[in-house]
Amino acid sequence: MRLPSRLRLKESRDFAVIKAQGQSQSGRYFVLALLRDETMPDFRFGLVTGKRLGNAVVRNRLRRQIREIIRENRGLIAPGMKFVTIARWRAPDAEFAEMSQDWTRLARRMGLLLKTAAAKP
């Protein structure tokens, strides 16, 4: 099951607003930037994979993996959140399970996941 495209941030101004007004924290494989917007009924997300990470094949694989991590946690993500996941230089060499664990830890730390997700081991 795919994530609907309506959930994706596509405009550069959306990314700029999250960077300017939001908060961010970094993990081993990702930087997560978050902005709360209580007017939205659902969440919106964006992905950043810079050219430093590798060629197009590597960057596209990372984007697919990050979207899968978000899809797996979709039911736990609080509504009214806009967030951007930025892949760090270590991400291309990481296993999927390590990336998933790092993203989930960052999301919990920033309050992106609902409280019921905090009890999940």
Tens digits of residue pLDDT in 7-58: 999 999 999 999 999 999 999 999 999 999 988 899 999 999 999 999 999 9
Domain spans of the chain, in order of start: 5-113
Close Cβ partners of 79 (under 8 Å, ≥ 6 residues apart): 40, 41, 42, 43
pLDDT cut 90: percent of the chain above it: 85
DSSP-assigned letters across all residues of 3-63: PPGGGB---HHHHHHHHHHSEEEE-SSEEEEEEE-TT-SS-EEEEE--GGG-SHHHHHHHH
Class for the domain spanning 5-113: alpha beta
Please report the pLDDT score of residue 56 as a whole number: 97
Whole-number average pLDDT of the chain: 92
CB atoms inside a 10 Å sphere around CB 86: 20
For the packed helices 96-110 and 56-72, what is the interaxial angle rounded to 10 degrees? 60
Three-class SS state of 85: strand
The H or E element containing residue 104 is: helix 96-110
The pTM assigned to this predicted structure is 0.89
pLDDT cut 70: percent of the chain above it: 95
Q: Which of 92, 108, 117, 121 is nearest to 32 (CA)?
A: 108
What would the mean pLDDT of 81-110 be, rounded to a whole number? 96
pLDDT at 117 over 90: no
